[in-house]
Structure 1
Amino acid sequence: MSDLGELDRPGTPDSPGAWGDRSQQWLPNEKKPPATKPAAPLNAPTPTTPRRTAADPVKALMHRHQDLCTRAVNPLEIAAGLEAHGITDRTATRFRHRDVFSLAEEMFARATRDAEPSTHHKTTHAPRVRLDWAVLTLLPGLLATATVTALRLTEGRPRLAIAAAGILTVALALRAALSRGPLATPPHHHTSGTSVWTAWLLAYALLGDGLLQTALTGGPDALPTGTTADPWPLTPAPLLALAWSCVPAAWAAHLLATRAHRRLTTSRALDDFSTAVRPLILTTLALYLAALTTLLALTGVILGEPAPYARTLPLGALLLLARLLTTHGFTHAPAAVLMATAATEATATATVFAARLPGCEALAVPVQTLADTWGPASVPILTCTTAALALLFHASRTLTRASAHTPPEAHTPPEPRC
């Protein structure tokens, strides 16, 4: 048998498998199909691919102002706190809100939802009239009246002791009246500078016009004796009326605080609150000036002197506006304006004495011209009126903010702007 025939002869395969090593060489070079996962059951949940989401900017802002959100009783209070920290409508757009109030509404809604009932306050109380501050506001007027009466009933050296004791007691009573009630200074605010310049202005109201008039005529030759007929006359009527004006000033400030609190709970936006409070500031000032005018008329009749309306009303308006700004936490502007007013009055008097030096006669020309035209009282009238208008403009911008009328505990220390 030929060799070819032997190849076709059937036989038992001697390889371990169906294909031997030589057989594998004849297979085509194909790639293996990729391994597939077993099919999932039809009722199995479809896996979702996790997506990256941007951080919540409102949540970060709430964490920064956590105390404010916890204590707030309405969205406007949060808006006031944000406004106090420098967040404006333009800044609110970074938190995807059109203005500060809409941002505050979301923050308030989240805080109300997340806070526990025991930790989130739902009520707030308007300022109330208390007997202690109502009585304390009467003390300056009573003591000033007693001092003026004692000075008119005595003569000689006892008058100096009575005047010194009266000034001291009235100053202490005034300090007590300004320590409580609607005219009280907020905690952690220093007003030492304001007190010093206020004392200077009151002293000028008592002594300044007489000193200036005496200086323009070559005096003074002696200290004042406390009578109106003295070459250096005293004018107690403005000081007496201003001492009694602590009462209407406190009630006017209380009226402003009460109405502003009511607007704070009913307004729906910061602009609405500002629009509603601005007339309240003007009304408060008008009521005080009306009461001060009445007091000046009464003191003029009692003392038998002409009522000094022109030089006392601007001073009263200046002191009231300075006090309102101070009680709401704005202490820098009142101190600066009062200091500038006192410095102007002191400079006007000093130039008259400096003009007596050789070659310095021109220094007294401005003051001499004012005194010859409108009298010595023109100096405090012009200075106090200008200062009062400046503080009125400043108050119309600061006291119309909601942050100026929120409770002190609602304000947290200033933080960097968002």
Structure 2
Amino acid sequence: MGAGFAGAGAWHEWRVQGHPLRAVGKGEWVRVRVVVADDPKELGERRFGGKKVLVRGDLVEFRVGGEVVRGGGAVTVLSPEVGWKGLLPGQEVVFRARVSAAWRADLTVVVLRAEGPPLAVGVAPWWQRGAGRVRADFAMAAQRALPGDAAGLLPGLVIGDTSRLPERVRENFRETDLAHLTAVSGANITILLGAVVVSMRTLTVDPRVGAVAAGIALLLFVILARPSPSVLRAAVMGAVALLALCTGRRKQALPALCTAIIGLLAWSPRLAVDAGFALSVLATAGLIVLAPGWSDRLRAHGWWRVPADAFAVAAAAFVVTTPVVIAITGHLSLVAIGVNVLVEPVIAPITVLGAIGAILACGWAPLGELVLYCTAPPLWWLLTVADRAAALGASITLPTGVRSGVIAAVLCGLLIAGSRPRLGTG
């Protein structure tokens, strides 16, 4: 299977290397037609010389000179905010741009630098328009119900919408390794599916009907939160678990994770070089393989169950993801485990109340705002912990690159091996 994926990846890379758009001279102007694949992301002013947005899309065709060339391929668009910021996934746009080389080896064909708004904008599919409306209503209700920082953070925690997240809060979360909370992951989907299944059982609904209802909720949530790598991984695992529930089979997390990885890599080879997907898979594997044993050992040494579970989960996720984080960012937080333990109890209430408030805000805004107002205390705690921890400056800057990542992986591997109980011991 590994050889098959390697061969498929090499074939896709060969197609990207020979793409006609790569033959266009760097800096040359082209007229392109692109389907937007994700919400536009704001970029820092200092790095890109003014406010810019990054848009990922799928190429439909491009025109250079008098020739029109049709062909697919992933492209990245760097553009001003005007005319681009409000685009929805699925919209087709036509614009002029200068061709630049791709930034990373992730099967992106080229980077297109647009100098102005798109010349034409198509209509997004109805489900994307509906999701966009829900996201906008949710963000407005949060703005009315909560103070500034909390209002910008809540949509990021619940549906991954960080468009209104203040830069100071964003930096605090990066410094303390809490940035994963604003990227929808397995925790959000687990909480959502758990809430739906428990509600169905409370109503004494047949388990299979409850599983179907949870599956519908899962599909709607993926559309609403956007199918990012971590969302896709968590969604496939959730679907496998629901299938096990429908068929009466015993749920097993590790086979579900393996199924999700194999299926998603077969569907989208680009995920093999996506850092977000790698971090999501590693963190989930750590929670499945390491956290239960570490929690049992802590309880054997006198810890209570709840703090033992919380510490084991935070420590397992930190250890297995640290090599990738160091290789990419060179950042190592010395307070990451403690901070994640402190904020873990408030994540579920924020997620559940936020999801209920998002649904109610679309029907009757005052009731939705009332529910969202109840998230103010846990959000205050989360923001306070991140702010105080970031003020400590307890982080280390290390060299980035493969060498640093390999060294960190070896050290983390030794730590994991040393934490295993010796034979003959309890």
> Could you say which structure has the greater relative contact order, defined with CA pairs below 8 angstroms and 6 or more residues apart?
1
Bigger fraction of residues in strand? 2
Find the structure with the greater CA-based Rg.
1
